[in-house]
Structure 1
Amino acid sequence: MSIQILTAAVVRDTGVTHAVARTAVTSVFDAIARSLAVGETITISNFGTFAPVTLRERRSHNPATGAPLTAPETVVPRFRARGRLRDMVRDQDPTASVRKLPAGRYARR
C-alpha cells in the first residue's frame, strides 16, 4: 500500500479533500519518524507500538571476499501490532475496523 492509496482511503472514509487527506497522512508519518529519531516510543491504541531498538555490535563477514568484519551497534525502528489490528491480521478479516468511527460527518459511507 502506498501513500496515494492511504490518502484515497482517507478521502473515501472522511469526505475531506485530497489535499487535506495527503497533509494528514504525511503529517502522521512525519510525527512518528521524528519521535523515533529522538528515541521516543509511539503507542497507538488498538493499533500498535513503534519503538527504536538498539542492535548490538556483531561479527559478520564480507559476502564477496569472506573477510571478517564487525557490524557496528545501530538503532532501528520496530513495530509491534496490538489489540484490534493484531486480531484483524490473525483472523484475516479485512472488513473489520481498528476503531469505530463516530456517527455523522466522518462515518463510513
Structure 2
Amino acid sequence: MTAVEPGGVTGVPASPGRTVGPARLVRSVDDFGRLRPGDVLVCRTTDPAWTPLFHLAAAIVTETGGLLSHAAIVARECRIPAVVGAAEALSLLEDGAPVVVDGSLGTVTGATR
C-alpha cells in the first residue's frame, strides 16, 4: 500500500494476470465516457453500476477493497488483472500514463516504451 517506485503502487492481488495500458482515472459515473477499450480503470471503488466498464478495461485498480470486493469478483469473472486496496492510486498514478498491472503480485508500475 506504499509507492514501489515513482508512479507505482501496491495493493491486494485480486485477479491474476499482467497487462499494460494507459491509466484512466475515473472518479465518478460522470467520467465513465472517458474509458476506452484497453485502458486500465483506476478508481476509488466499484459497485454494480460500474460493471459495464469491466468489459472495456484491460485491468482494474481500486484504492479500496479486498478479495471479496465487487471489483475483485467481477475482474476474475471477466478474466482481467486486478489490484485492489491500492491506497492513493488516484493521486500517485497519472491519467493517460502507461502502466503495468500485475494482478498476481498486486503491483502497478510505470511502463517503459
TM-score band w.r.t. shorter chain: under 0.3
Q: Which structure shows the bigger proportion of residues in strand conformation?
A: 2
The higher-RCO structure (CA 8 Å, 6+ apart) is 2
Give the TM-score taking structure 1 as reference length: 0.25
- What TM-score comes out, normalization by structure 2 length? 0.24
Flag the structure with higher helix content. Answer: 1
